Every structure is written in C-alpha cells, then in structure tokens.
Amino acid sequence: MAKTYKFISWNVNGIRAVDKKEALKWVDEANIDILGIQETKSQKSQIPESIFDKEYKTLFASESAIKGRSGTALFTDIETTFECNCPTVDVLDEGRINEVHFTLGEKDIAFFNVYFPNGQSKDERLVYKMEFYDRFLEHCENLKKDGKSIIVCGDVNTAHKEIDLARPKANEKKSGFLPMEREWMDKFLSHGYVDTLREKTQDEGLYSWWSYRANARANNVGWRIDYFYVSDDLKANIKDAYILNEVMGSDHCPIALEIEL
C-alpha cells in the first residue's frame, strides 16, 4: 500500500540562533519524514541536540571548510543506502549539499538538500553560482541515467518568474533575479524536472524569504527562492506542496512537499 511522505526544507540562517529562539520545536508535532536544513552556519558537532525532542534515525551534515558559513543538515527516518556531500558539485567545500539515496515503493530515489550559492556579493560569486548550477544539473542527469528518481529541496537563491517576487521590476538587474539565473531554472525544468509548488498552484504572493528591512515580512514584500523539485517520473506522486509562512525564526520560512509512494 502506498504511503504519503512529508518532506520539509528550511534555510534557518544559523541553526544555533534558531535553537535559542526555540524556533524548531514545531517539528515534534509535524510528522516529518525528512527535514532538510540549509545555512546551519555550524559544524556537525555544533548542531544543538535541543532543537527539537524528536529523535530521527539519522542526521547527515555537510560543513564548510570555513567555519561559521553555509552548512546543511538532513534529518531522516527513512533508511538510506548512500550518503555524500557531493564534492564534484560543491568543489570549494562550502558545505552546501547533502545527497542521500533510498528506495520508497518502486522508486529508487536520490534526494538532495542544497544551499545554492548567492551571487550578490561580487562578480566572482555570480560566476561560481552559475558554474555550481551547471555542475548540479549534470550530476542529477547522470543519476537519472542510472535509473534514479530525483527530489531536490533547498534555497536556490533565485526567484524564477515575476510571480515569484513582490517587486520584479525593481530587482531585474540584481543577482537573484537576473536573466541568466532565471534562464538556468528554465533549463533545469526543461531537462525533466517539476517545480512542485507551481504544479499545485499559480497563486500570487507566495514567498519564502523576506528582507529584515522595512518591515518586509509583515507587508509580504518577499521572494520565493526556496524550492522542491522532483523528476518528471514523480509528478503523478505529488500529493501537495506548500509554504509554511507562519513559521518564524529566520528570514526564510519552511516549505513542504507531500508525496505518495
């Protein structure tokens, strides 16, 4: 019998800071099968045990070579067969990826929790961001050739369409909404991937990140830069995809995917 699994993705902008706010305690009641966290800004040994009471079977963490930056963590109750930090994509060892493999139903799945680079600081970082994007797509395509179904969650650091940010005109020349970044997202989807939220709704005003400035979150002047993608063969398995914008504690909010397998 098929089962519905719930996956959550959240850029917490510092897992120790979130712990001090007790902003992850809701996880205890949420029945989450995989929780992907980005921008932990910590080593694995620094992830507080107090973030929630639920005891997941496994915690995978990827840490940056430069302490206090980036970092991802994946908590799962699903039995995995493979785990790595994807060094062929994260070539600067910035702690940006958890890759795990598992089987659910008849699907052999490669699941990614990714903190994609931000290209705003300087031109070199934008170049690196675009190279990271291309390496990631190539890696996913190689896994599909090996028979894997793909699920990707994380902070992609780009709003795809005008519907995905409150002020597109004002931001069209800024990294995060540049034509080249948006065109890569078009390319990614054209290779056989689905933006799960847009598969379920075309509603406006659905954002996952807000600046701390000018009361942006209260006024919902935001960006949708966090995504769940699945490969086309999982499209029919999507039960729901949504944004948990009521959850506070970071400049991002969590996003969710429910999938039946």
Catalytic residues: 155
Residue type for position 42: S
| CA–CA dist 58, 74 (Å, integer) | 8
Buried b (16+ CB within 10 A) or exposed e, 16-42: eebbeeebbebbeebebbbbbbbbbbb
Residue type for position 186: D
Residue pair 171/177 in contact (Cβ under 8 Å)? The answer is: yes
Name, in order, each residue with C-beta under 8 angstroms of 78's C-beta and a sequence gap of 6 or more. Answer: 5, 33, 34, 57, 102, 104
| CA–CA dist 245, 207 (Å, integer) | 8
Residue 97 burial class via C-beta count within 10 angstroms: exposed 0-12, middle 13-18, buried 19 and up: buried
Strand blocks (E) in the chain: 4-11, 34-38, 58-62, 72-76, 82-84, 97-104, 107-115, 149-155, 193-195, 209-210, 222-223, 226-231, 238-243, 255-260
| CA–CA dist 244, 9 (Å, integer) | 10
- Report which DSSP code applies to 210: E
| CA–CA dist 152, 227 (Å, integer) | 8
Give Rg (Cα) of the chain.
17
